[in-house]
C-alpha cells in the first residue's frame, strides 16, 4: 500500500489544467441546453439532500429539468453498474465512491470530466477551480492519470466520546494508541453502557472493512506484497492477526450485544442516543450525531483523531463524486450541471441548508459561515480540527484502487466476522482469507497461477 | 364430444384435444401466450444459459471467453456455494414445513363455529398484508437486543437473552420464525377455503359412526385436503425464494455468510462482484435443483387430479 497522506498528495497535472483554463473565456451560456432533462442516480449521502433543495435555482437559471433517483447506497451502486454495463441511457449523471472508480474507468462507463475542461462553451475555469479541491479527494476520482469524475464528499473517521463519562473514569485525554484504546474502553465499560460501538456489517467495503482497515494499517499490515506491482496477498501477517484480535476484543468485550450486525446507522444512533461511551465512525456524520432535535449527547461530545499502532493513526478515507455517464445523450448539459453542483458557491449553500460538512473544497473549509456552523467544541477538542487532522494522516489509497477490490474486501469482511463470532480464531480466519484472496486474484488474472 | 373426452381420460385427453383432432384450429389461440412466455421466460433463460458458459466479469482484466462448463465445475469447489445450498435447504424447507403444520392447525380452528372467531380470522391473516421488506425490518428490530421486545419477554421468564442475529444458527432460526409468521396465514386461508367446500354429509356420517373429532380430522379432513395440500406445498416452495428480502434486511446473508442462500449468493456474485458468468451458473444450478425437487410433487398432483377425473 502506498503510504501517502491525504492533503499531502500533489497532482502536478492539475496545475497545467488550471493554468490553461484560466486563459480561456469564462463566458458560458447557461441557457444553451434549455428544455433538456438530466437524470441523476445516487444515494442520499449528505450533500445530495441539500443539493436537491437548490435544483429549482439551477432549473430556473438554465431551463434544464433535473430528475434525481436516490436509493440505498448498495442499491444505487448496483443499479448504476447494471445500467452502465448494459449501456443504458437512463441516467446522465451517476455518483461513485472512490473505491469503485477503477471499475468504472476500466469498463469505460463514465466520460472523463477532463475532456470537458477545454470546452469554453460549457466550462468556466473560475467555477470549476480544480486547484481548490482537496488533492486526495480529486485523486480518488481519477484512474490511470485521467480525471473521470469530480468529488463532493471527503469521508474519513474520527473518535467520538462522551466527555463526562471519561471524566468520571478519570481519563484526561482520548486514547492515541490501540493499547490505550483497549485500556480506556475497559475503564469506561459497563453492562448498562458499553464502551465502544464499531461497524460489523455488511462484511464489505461499506461495512466492517471501513473500520477494520484502520486497525490493519495502523498495525503496519498490508493487503498485498507491493501494490500495484506485486499482488501476492499478505492478509495473514502477524500485524494483521494482531489488528484483528484488537478489533474483536473491542467489539466482543466492550461493545454492545449483537455488534456483528451493526451497520453504520446503528453505530450513529448508538452515539446519538448516548447508548455507548464512544464510537469510531464517519466525521461527516457529526451533523447527524449532534442533530439538536434528536441528539442526547450534544454539548457532551469530544472529538479526536483515531488511535493508531506502530504505523501511526490510519483513519479511513474515501471520496464520493459525480460523473457523466458514457451513455448520456446530453453529456455537455450533464457536465454543465456537474460544474454548477460542485462549485464552491453551491457547496457553501448546501453546507448551510443541510447537515453537509464533508466538503472537498479547501475554500469552503475556511469559509466563515461553514466554520461558524460546524466547529463544534464542547471542551473535548474542536471538531473541525479533528476532522482536518484525520484527513491529513488518512491514507489516500485506503482502499487499493483496482476493479476487483470489492471482491477482496468482501472476503476479508467475512474473515473479520468469522473471528468476531468465534467460528474461527483470528489467525485461522485470516489464513483462510489469504488463500481465498490469492485464488480470487488468480481468477481475475492479477496473480500468476 | 370434447367434454366426454375430458371426463373419460383426464389430462391426456386435454393434450389430445389441443394438439390434434377436429379442434386443431384452436391452436392459434395459444400463439399470444406462447409469444409472451417465449419472450419473457424462455429467451431470458436461454440467454442466462449462454452467459453461464462464459467468463464474463466486469472486474476481470482478461477478455471474456467461452469456458464451457467451467463455471459449473468451479461451483462444486466453491465452499461458499456448498454452504449456501445447505442454508437454502434450511431456509426454504424449514419455514414451509412449519407453515404447513401451523397453517393446517389454524385452518381447523378457523373452520370451527366458535364465538368471536370472525375477528380472529381477520387477525390471523394480517401478516399477509406485510410486504417482505417491511416484515424483515420489523423482525430485525424485534430480534435486536437493544431495541426489540423478544429478549425482554424471554428475560421475564428467566431465559438469557441471546444476540439472535449475531450467531449463524440463531440467525437462521430468526429468519425461519419471520418467514413462518409471514406466510402461515396464506397456508391457513387456502386450507380453510378448501375445508369450506368439503361435503357436510361425510362428517355427519362419520359422527353417526361414532368417530371422534380427531378421527374425523384424520379420516375425513386430511384425505380430502390432500390435493389442496400438494398445490399449497408446490406454491410455497416456489414462493419460499421470496425469503430473499427478509435475508437482505435482517442479516445481509451474515454473520460470516451463515444465512446466505443460493439465490442470495448469486445476487452477491452478480451485483457486488460483477461476475456475471459465474452468477448465471449459480442461479441456473439452483433452478435445476428446484425443478428436480418440484417435479415429483407436481407429478403426484397431476396423477391425483387425473385419477379424480377418471372417477367422475
Could you give the percent of chain A with pLDDT greater than 90?
A: 78
Residue intervals in chain B for CATH 1.10.3720.10: 71-311
Q: How far is A117 from chain B (nearest CA, A)?
A: 29
pLDDT of B21? 64
Considering only the beta carbons, identify the residue of A107, A261, A406 that sits closest to B165.
Answer: A261
- Pairwise CA distance, residues A353 & A345, whole Å: 13
Task: Report the pLDDT value the prediction gives residue B280, as an integer from 0 to 100.
Answer: 96
A329 and A249 share a domain? no
Average pLDDT, chain A: 90
Query: From B144, which residue of chain A is nearest by alpha-carbon distance?
Result: A258
State the Cα–Cα distance between residues B110 and B124, nearest whole angstrom. 9
pLDDT, mean of residues A247-258: 94
Upstream peptide bond of A285 is cis (omega within 30 degrees of 0) = no
Q: What is the rounded radius of gyration, in angstroms, for the C-alpha atoms of chain A?
A: 22
Buried-state track B198-219, b at ≥16 Cβ within 10 A, e below 16: eeeeeeeebeeeebeeeebeee
C-alpha dihedral sign at B246, B252, B257, B262? positive
Contacts of A78 in chain B (CB under 8 A): 271-272
Residue B123 has pLDDT above 80, yes or no: yes
Q: Is residue A388 part of a domain?
A: no
Question: Is residue A449 domain-resident?
Answer: no
Tell me if the domain spanning B71-311 has CATH number 3.40.50.300: no
**Model confidence at A313: pLDDT above 60:** yes
CA B143 to chain centre: 24
Same domain, A214 and A305: yes
**Cβ pair A220, A240 in contact under 8 A:** no
Q: Say whether both A211 and A325 belong to one domain.
A: no
Q: Test B58 with A275 for CB contact under 8 angstroms.
A: no
Cβ-based contacts of A256 with chain B (< 8 Å): 145-146
Residues 6+ apart with CB under 8 A from A242: A219, A309
| Residue B304 scores a pLDDT above 50 | yes
Question: What ipTM does the predicted assembly reach?
Answer: 0.73
Question: Are residues A250 and A356 located together in one domain of the fold?
Answer: no
Per-residue model confidence as pLDDT tens digits over B1-18: 444 444 444 444 444 455
Count of domains forming chain A: 2
pLDDT digits 0-9 by tens, B177-220: 999 999 999 999 999 999 988 988 998 999 999 999 899 999 99
DSSP state of A297: S
Distance of alpha carbon A443 from alpha carbon B275, whole angstroms: 11
Mutate to test the interface with A, among B79, B254, B259, B271 (most CBs of A within 10 A): B254
CB contact under 8 A, B256 and A418: yes
> Residue B227: is its pLDDT beyond 90?
no
Both A276 and A407 in one domain: the answer is yes
DSSP count for chain B of H helices, then E strands: 16, 0
Judgement on whether residues A145 and A170 belong to the same structural domain of the protein: no
Q: Which helix H or strand E contains A1, and what residues bound it?
A: none
Cβ atoms of residues B95 and B179 within 8 Å: yes
Closest Cα to residue B244, out of B231, B260, B227, B256? B260
Cβ pair A35, A333 in contact under 8 A: no
pLDDT at A378 over 80: yes
- List the single residue in A78, A260, A414 with the smallest CB-CB distance to B257: A414
Judgement on whether residues A279 and A361 belong to the same structural domain of the protein: no
Cα nearest neighbour of B166 on chain A: A258
Is the same domain home to A343 and A235?
no
| Confidence band, pLDDT 50/70/90 cuts, at residue A409 | very high
**Which residue would you say has higher pLDDT here, A52 or A448?**
A52
| Peptide bond preceding B283 in cis form (omega within 30 of 0) | no
- Mean of the pLDDT values across residues A390-418? 91
Asked whether residue A73 is assigned to any structural domain, the reply reads yes
pLDDT at B115: 77
pLDDT at A264 over 90: no
Q: What is the pLDDT of residue B20?
A: 59
pLDDT of residue B289: 87
Compute the nearest-CA separation of B258 from chain A (Å): 10
**Which range marks the domain in which residue A434 is found?**
156-315+402-443
Residue labelled with grid coordinates 400463439: B31
pLDDT tens by residue, A277-290:
999 999 999 988 99
Do the domain assignments include residue A448? no
With CA atoms as reference, report the closest residue to A231 among A15, A10, A434: A434
Distance CA A338, CA A45 (A): 16
A223 shares its domain with A249: yes
Give residue B22's pLDDT: 62
Query: Nearest C-alpha of chain A: how many angstroms from B129?
Result: 24
A36 with A139, same domain: the answer is yes
pLDDT at residue number A26: 54
Q: Is residue A254 part of a domain?
A: yes
Say whether pLDDT at A174 is over 70: yes
Task: Calculate mean pLDDT across residues A123-145.
Answer: 92
What confidence score (pLDDT) does residue A21 get? 41
User: Chain A partners of B61 at a C-beta cutoff of 8 Å?
Assistant: 106, 403, 444-446
How many contacts (CB atoms, under 8 Å) link A and B?
100
Residue A380 lies in a domain: no
Residue A330 CA: distances (Å) to CA of A93, A111, A242, B21: 10, 12, 52, 59
Is A385 a domain residue? no
Instruction: List Cα–Cα distances, B311 to A268, B6, B10, B291, B306, in angstroms.
Output: 67, 12, 10, 29, 9
Cross-chain Cβ contact A421/B165 below 8 Å = no
A218 near A243, Cβ under 8 Å? yes
Instruction: Report pLDDT for B157.
Output: 81
What is the reported pLDDT for B119? Answer: 81
pLDDT of residue A417: 94
- Which of B70, B274, B276 would you mutate first to test chain A, the one with the most A CBs within 10 A? B274
Q: By three-state DSSP, how is residue A41 classified?
A: strand
Nearest CA in chain B to A255: B146
Strands (DSSP E) along A234-350, which ranges? 278-282, 301-304, 317-325
Cell of A273: 442516543
| Same domain, residue pair A88 and A213 | no
Looking at the fold, whether A81 and A108 belong to one and the same domain comes out as yes
Q: pLDDT at residue B250 above 80? A: yes
CATH number at residue A333: 3.40.190.10
Question: What is the per-residue pLDDT across A43-87, written as a single tens digit (0 to 9) for each?
Answer: 999 899 999 999 999 999 999 999 999 998 888 998 999 999 999
- Greatest CA separation for chain A: 65
Q: Using a CB-CB distance cutoff of 8 angstroms, which residues of chain B are in contact with residue A261?
A: 144, 165-166, 251, 254-255
Helix (H, G, I), strand (E, B) or coil at A209: helix
Encode A222-264 in three state secondary structure: CCEEECCCEEEECCCCHHHHHHHHHHHHHHHHHCCCCHHHCCH
Which of B161, B265, B272, B275 should we substitute to test contact with A (largest number of A Cβ atoms within 10 Å)? Answer: B272
Tell how far CA B231 is from the center of its chain: 11
CB-based contact B166 A421, cutoff 8 Å: yes
CB atoms within 10 A of CB B65: 10
- Cα–Cα dist A13/A96, whole Å: 22
Indicate the range of A260-264, B24-28, B64-68, B75-79 predicted with least confidence. B24-28
**Does the pLDDT of residue B153 top 90, yes or no?**
no
Q: pLDDT tier at B139 (50, 70, 90 boundaries)?
A: very high
Specify burial of residue A127 (Cβ count, 10 A radius: 0-12, 13-18, 19+).
middle
Greatest Cα pair distance, chain B, in angstroms, is 79
Q: List all residues 6 or more positions away from A445 whose beta carbon is below 8 Å from its beta carbon.
A: B60, B61, B62
Amino acid at each position: 500500500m502506498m503510504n501517502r497522506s491525504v492533503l499531502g498528495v500533489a497532482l502536478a497535472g492539475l496545475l497545467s489544467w488550471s493554468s490553461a483554463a484560466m486563459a480561456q473565456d469564462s463566458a458560458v451560456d447557461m441557457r444553451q441546453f434549455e428544455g433538456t432533462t438530466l437524470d441523476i442516480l445516487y444515494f442520499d449521502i449528505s450533500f445530495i439532500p441539500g443539493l436537491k433543495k437548490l435544483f429549482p435555482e439551477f432549473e430556473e437559471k438554465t431551463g434544464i429539468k433535473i430528475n434525481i433517483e436516490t436509493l440505498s447506497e448498495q442499491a444505487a451502486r448496483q443499479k448504476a453498474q447494471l445500467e452502465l454495463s448494459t449501456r443504458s441511457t437512463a441516467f446522465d449523471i451517476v455518483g461513485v465512491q472512490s473505491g469503485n472508480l477503477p471499475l468504472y474507468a476500466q469498463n469505460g462507463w463514465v466520460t472523463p470530466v477532463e475532456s470537458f475542461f477545454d470546452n469554453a462553451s460549457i466550462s468556466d475555469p473560475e467555477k470549476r477551480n480544480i486547484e481548490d479541491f482537496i488533492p486526495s479527494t480529486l485523486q480518488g476520482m481519477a484512474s490511470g492519470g485521467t480525471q473521470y469524475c469530480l468529488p463532493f464528499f471527503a469521508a474519513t473517521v474520527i473518535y467520538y466520546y462522551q466527555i463526562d463519562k471519561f471524566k468520571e473514569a478519570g481519563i484526561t485525554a482520548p486514547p492515541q494508541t490501540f493499547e490505550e484504546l483497549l485500556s480506556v474502553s475497559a475503564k469506561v465499560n459497563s453492562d448498562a453502557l458499553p464502551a465502544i460501538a464499531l461497524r460489523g456489517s455488511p462484511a464489505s467495503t461499506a461495512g466492517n472493512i471501513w473500520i477494520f482497515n484502520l486497525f490493519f494499517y495502523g498495525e503496519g499490515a498490508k493487503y498485498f506484497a507491493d501494490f500495484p506491482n506485486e499482488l501476492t496477498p499478505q492478509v495473514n501477517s502477524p500485524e494483521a492477526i494482531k489488528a484483528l484480535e484488537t478489533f474483536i476484543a473491542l467489539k466482543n468485550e466492550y461493545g454492545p450485544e449483537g455488534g456483528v450486525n451493526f451497520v453504520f446507522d446503528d453505530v450513529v444512533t448508538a452515539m446519538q442516543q448516548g447508548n455507548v461511551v464512544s464510537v469510531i465512525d464517519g466525521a461527516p456524520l457529526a451533523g447527524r450525531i449532534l442533530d439538536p432535535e434528536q441528539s442526547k449527547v450534544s454539548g457532551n461530545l469530544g472529538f479526536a483523531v483515531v488511535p493508531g499502532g506502530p504505523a501511526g493513526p490510519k483513519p479511513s478515507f474515501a471520496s464520493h463524486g459525480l460523473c457523466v455517464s458514457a451513455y448520456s445523450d446530453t453529456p455537455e448539459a450533464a457536465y454543465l450541471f456537474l460544474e454548477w453542483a460542485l462549485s464552491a458557491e453551491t457547496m457553501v449553500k448546501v453546507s448551510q441548508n443541510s447537515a453537509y460538512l464533508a466538503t472537498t473544497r479547501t475554500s469552503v473549509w475556511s469559509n466563515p459561515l461553514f466554520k461558524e456552523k460546524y466547529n463544534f467544541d464542547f471542551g473535548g477538542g474542536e471538531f473541525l480540527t479533528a476532522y482536518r487532522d484525520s484527513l491529513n494522516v488518512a491514507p489516500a489509497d485506503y482502499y487499493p484502487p483496482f476493479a476487483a477490490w470489492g471482491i477482496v474486501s468482501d472476503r476479508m469482511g467475512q474473515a473479520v466476522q468469522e473471528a468476531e463470532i468465534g467460528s474461527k480464531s483470528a489467525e485461522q480466519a485470516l489464513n483462510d482469507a489469504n488463500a481465498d484472496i490469492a485464488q480470487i486474484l488468480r481468477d481475475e488474472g492479477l496473480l500468476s497461477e | 364430444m370434447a367434454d366426454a373426452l375430458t371426463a373419460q381420460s383426464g389430462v391426456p385427453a386435454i393434450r389430445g384435444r389441443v394438439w390434434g383432432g377436429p379442434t386443431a384450429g384452436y391452436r392459434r389461440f395459444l400463439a399470444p401466450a406462447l409469444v409472451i412466455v417465449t419472450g419473457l421466460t424462455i429467451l431470458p433463460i436461454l440467454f442466462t444459459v449462454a452467459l453461464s458458459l462464459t467468463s464474463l466479469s466486469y472486474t476481470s482484466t482478461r477478455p471474456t471467453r467461452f469456458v464451457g462448463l467451467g463455471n459449473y465445475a468451479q461451483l462444486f469447489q466453491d465452499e461458499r456455494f456448498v454452504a449456501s445450498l445447505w442454508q437454502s435447504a434450511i431456509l426454504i424447507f424449514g419455514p414451509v414445513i412449519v407453515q404447513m403444520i401451523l397453517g393446517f392447525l389454524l385452518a381447523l380452528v378457523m373452520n370451527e363455529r366458535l364465538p368471536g372467531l370472525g375477528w380472529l380470522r381477520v387477525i390471523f391473516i394480517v401478516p399477509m398484508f406485510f410486504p417482505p421488506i417491511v416484515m424483515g425490518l420489523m423482525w430485525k428490530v424485534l430480534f435486536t437486543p437493544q431495541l426489540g421486545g423478544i429478549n425482554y419477554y424471554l428475560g421475564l421468564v428467566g431465559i438469557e437473552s441471546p444476540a439472535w442475529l449475531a450467531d449463524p444458527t440463531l440467525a437462521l432460526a430468526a429468519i425461519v420464525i419471520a418467514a413462518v409468521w409471514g406466510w402461515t396465514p396464506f397456508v391457513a386461508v387456502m386450507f380453510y377455503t378448501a375445508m369450506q367446500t368439503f361435503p357436510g354429509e361425510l362428517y355427519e356420517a362419520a359422527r353417526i359412526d361414532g368417530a371422534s373429532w380427531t378421527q374425523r380430522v384424520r379420516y375425513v379432513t386430511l384425505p380430502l385436503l390432500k390435493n389442496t395440500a400438494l398445490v399449497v406445498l408446490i406454491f410455497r416452495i416456489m414462493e419460499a425464494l421470496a425469503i430473499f428480502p427478509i435475508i437482505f434486511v435482517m442479516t445481509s446473508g451474515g454473520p460470516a455468510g451463515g444465512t446466505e442462500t443460493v439465490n442470495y449468493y448469486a445476487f452477491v456474485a452478480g451485483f457486488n462482484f460483477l461476475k456475471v458468468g459465474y452468477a448465471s451458473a449459480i442461479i441456473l444450478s439452483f433452478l435445476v435443483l428446484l425443478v428436480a425437487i418440484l417435479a415429483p410433487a407436481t407429478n403426484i398432483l397431476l396423477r391425483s387430479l387425473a385419477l379424480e377425473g377418471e372417477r367422475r
